[in-house]
């Protein structure tokens, strides 16, 4: 299947388009290629938290991936099938786990099996929803 090609510099040109594109690709099982990832940021390309989200989604969908490394501005992601289970990941920095949850949760909901996702990283990070918002507002409104 031919991938959907997405220009990651579109709109605000940050990490949101990357995270949501991967999430939607994982839910629909359609391959995507994203280029110009975070092009409008002072440090373009994938940061550790984006890489962690992509790795979790790749594991949850048995995806074929290219370009999954810090600094990469182009990623190919081809999900095969969604699966539940236990997934444990450490961002390795104080990168926002709330933003990772926003990408991973929709896929977990469509996994067809219980998913347990354990994340280590930042919980109250600048420019990201605090973890208390995720627990007390976001999750309660699903």
Q: Write down the pLDDT at residue 142.
A: 78
- Is 141's pLDDT higher than 90? no
pLDDT at 139: 87
Tens of pLDDT, residue by residue over 50-108, are: 999 999 999 999 999 999 999 999 999 999 999 999 999 999 999 999 999 999 999 99
pLDDT value of residue 39: 95
Tokens 């999430």: give the residue. Answer: 23
Domains of the chain by start residue, with CATH: 4-141 (3.65.10.20)
Rounded to the nearest 5 degrees, what angle is found at the Cα of 19, between the Cα atoms of 17 and 22? 100
Determine contact, residues 106/27, Cβ cutoff 8 Å: yes
Distance CA 139, CA 142 (A): 5
Q: Are 107 and 27 in contact (CB under 8 A)?
A: yes
Residue-wise DSSP of 60-120: HHT-EEE--STT-SEEEEE------EEEEEE-SSS-BHHHHHHHHHHHHHTSSS-EEEEEE
Closest to 133 measured CA to CA, from 103, 101, 107: 101
Residues 6 or more apart from 136 whose CB is under 8 A from it? none
């Amino acid at each position: 299947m031919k991938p959907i090609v997405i220009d990651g510099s579109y709109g605000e040109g940050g990490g949101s388009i990357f995270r949501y594109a991967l999430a939607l690709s994982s839910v629909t099982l359609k391959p995507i290629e994203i280029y110009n990832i975070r092009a409008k940021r002072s440090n373009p390309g994938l940061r550790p938290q984006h890489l962690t989200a992509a790795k979790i989604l790749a594991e949850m969908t048995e995806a074929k991936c290219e370009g999954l490394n810090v600094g990469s501005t182009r990623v190919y992601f081809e999900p095969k099938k969604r699966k539940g289970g236990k997934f444990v990941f450490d961002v390795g920095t104080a990168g926002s786990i709330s933003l990772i949850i926003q990408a991973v949760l929709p896929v977990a909901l469509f996994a067809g099996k219980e998913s347990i996702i354990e994340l280590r990283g930042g919980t109250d990070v600048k420019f990201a929803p605090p973890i208390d918002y995720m627990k007390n507002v976001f999750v309660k409104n699903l």
